[in-house]
Structure 1
Amino acid sequence: MSNWTHQNTKLWRVPEFDNLEVFRAQAIHHSYARHAHSGYSIGVIEAGVGGNSYRGTTYLAPPESVVFMNPQEAHTGYSAEDRPLTYRMLYPSVGLVQQIADEVQIKGFPYFKDAVVQSKGLTRNLVSLHVVLERSPDPLEQQSRLVEVLAATLLHYAEVKTRATGLQREHRAIAQIKEYLHENFSSTISLDQLVELTNLNRSYLIRVFRQAVGMPPYTYLNQIRVEKAKQYLSHGLSVAETAIAVGMSDQSHLNRHFKRIVGVTPGHYRSMSISSKN
């Protein structure tokens, strides 16, 4: 298990829960760049006020509130009102959430309509789960608590949608661009290449991509590279080697984008990931 660092953040994974990522931050000031997650984001604000731009609206989450974000929905995040922010996050995969939804007879794609929820009971249950995942050496306790809390959360706070409406329908060109960026993230990619791929003019291409995805293509590419970097770093690759592997120009380039999206430096992330395995 990793320890608190000078940056007051802690990260670890629970492999048996589809590599569930768990994060805790204490009294930090940080602004996250616009990004999205492949899975769900469920957080509890313990102190300070959490702010984020999400679905075209600015949300403020006061202490003891819960934040929900759905897969592939772009958002920012920051400590609002110039106050340090303390919070806990769970990042369950779509597969894990869907599995638990199926077990409690939720048919369809679970979708959280409300970005911020104020419920002392929900907050208490999520904090309890987070502490168990951090401290308990008993796998049965961890497994039971996770299933119990996520099942209750889905039953009370998630709507049911088909996957097509739960995730934004994409223009065919958007799907082409995303696939191309995922397949070629380690290469230098130009706007002309995307124009040739889609037969769209440059201005229209950028506009429809931003409208559909919530960010322009270059921001989406940086997000892919950071997600790949997390994988490489967690497997022990050095920061310098990782920067090259994901197509960043150098280590400082990776540091800048990684910190803006993840909230910690690549070296910090690598240390926490490796120590959480021990």
Structure 2
Amino acid sequence: MKNTNQIVHNIKFSKPQLNKDIIIYEGHFNNFNYDKHVHEEYTISLIEKGHMNAFLKGFNHKFDKSSIITINPDEVHACAIGNNNEYKHRSLYLKPETINEILKYNFSKKQLCFRDFSFNNEYIYNRLSFLINHDNIPYFNTLTWECELIDIVNSILQINTKATNLIELPSNYLLIQKVKEYLHDNFYMQISLDDISKEFGISKYHFIRLFKKHTFISVHAYLMIIRVEKAKQFLQKGLSLIDTAYMCGFNDQSHLNKRFKAITGLTPGEYKRFFN
């Protein structure tokens, strides 16, 4: 008899091609919700089982197996169990540089942006689902896997990008982008609101409201997210947990563990083992 009280918490990461910044993720949960976070990569996700609740573009949404979910780099999002039940999903993470490299002959060299956060296409869904299934990867040789990846991503970008549309920038967009760049450049430092206020000549009280209006999270939460993203990169390269915590600006290893697990679902040590 099945134990309905059993906690499901399974996560896998893999790199199909060790020389490329392409990562495949699989998550299966019935008792875990991700905190709001961002990725430095383009994210393409498929729901394989159940329903997933998600926070995207400032609103809550519900997804099931019919949707292909597309998230731009630095786009705040979160996901959680739906209908008080389990869900399983797979994601493909592609660095902006990788997108530019593999698609430079198909599109302009300007960085592309997903138009919608999800769309439906059963043919593309089935192809991508097969390609990023950990069990299927051993059956591909390197050339075949990459050719299939390029073809699928091409199709997604043709259907769901703003490549030919003029993007209207909202008020204060450039200021927020500059602050984000400042945080990315100084993530390892103990940055204060006064530091940001002096750097950009803006009232810190006004800035707090402005930043949250544009990103849906506080500036402190965004800085923690950047530090976790940097920690993932250091751990993939084999750095120790102590050095990673220090280099990313965390107070100690315990602080790194807490923030890392809330965003990735794994401890830093568990994450590191997938890549070393």
| TM bracket (short chain) | 0.7 to 0.9
Q: TM-score, normalised by structure 2?
A: 0.86
* Structure 2 counterpart of 1:35, from 34, 37, 42: 37
Which residue identity does 1:141 align to in structure 2? T
* Corresponding residue number in structure 2 for 1:213: 215
Instruction: Classify 1:166/1:36 alpha carbon distance in 2 versus 1 (closer, same or farther; 3 Å).
Output: farther
Aligned to 2:139: 136
- Displacement of 1:71 in angstroms is 2.0
Tell me how far 1:45 sits from its aligned partner.
Answer: 0.2
Question: Does 2:182 correspond to 1:190?
Answer: no
| Residue equivalent to 2:128 | 126
Any unmatched runs of 5+ in structure 1?
1-5
Cα gap change, 1:110 to 1:166, in 2 (>3 Å): farther
Q: Output the CA distance in 2 between the equivalents of 1:97 and 1:166.
A: 23
How many matched pairs? 268
**Higher RCO structure (Cα 8 Å, ≥6 apart):** 1
> Is the contact between residue 66 and residue 116 of structure 1 (CA under 8 Å) also seen in structure 2?
yes
Counterpart in 1 of 2:254?
Answer: 252
* Mapped partners of 2:235, 2:170: distance in 1: 31
**Matched residue type, 1:85:** Y
- Residue 241 (structure 1) aligns with: 243
Shift of the 64–222 alpha-carbon distance from structure 1 to 2, 3 Å rule, reads same
Q: Determine the structure 2 residue equivalent to 1:3.
A: none
Q: Contact (CA 8 Å) 1:10, 1:23: kept in 2 or not?
A: yes
Match of 1:113 in 2: 115
Aligned AA (2:87):
L
Match of 1:272 in 2: 274
Q: Shift in Å at residue 152 of structure 1?
A: 1.8
More helix by share: 1
SS, match of residue 8 in structure 1: strand
Contact 1:29/1:85 (<8 A) preserved: no
In structure 2, relative to structure 1, the CA distance for the partners of 1:63 and 1:29 (3 Å cut) is farther
Q: Show the 5 A alignment for 1:12-91.
A: 12-15=14-17, 18-91=20-93
Aligned to 1:148: 151
- Cα deviation code 1:139-195 (max 9, x no counterpart): 111111111211122223333256x83887854543442233222221212111111
Structure 1 vs Structure 2: percent identity of aligned residues?
A: 28
- If each structure's strand is expressed as a fraction of its own residues, which one has the higher value? 1
Q: Any idea what SS the aligned residue of 2:35 has? A: strand
198-207 vs 39-48, which moves further: 198-207
Question: Per the alignment, in what secondary structure is the counterpart of residue 35 of structure 1?
Answer: coil
Residue-by-residue CA offset, 1:201-255 (whole Å, 9 max, x unaligned): 1221111122233322111111111111111111222222211221111112111
Tell me, what secondary structure is at the counterpart of 1:209?
A: helix
User: Equivalents in 2 of 1:226, 1:219: separation in Å?
Assistant: 11
Cα deviation 1:96-131 (Å, max 9, x = unaligned): 223444333467543333323233212101112113
Q: Are 2:48 and 2:65, in contact at CA under 8 Å, matched by a contact in 1?
A: yes
Higher alpha-carbon deviation: 127-136 or 201-210: 127-136
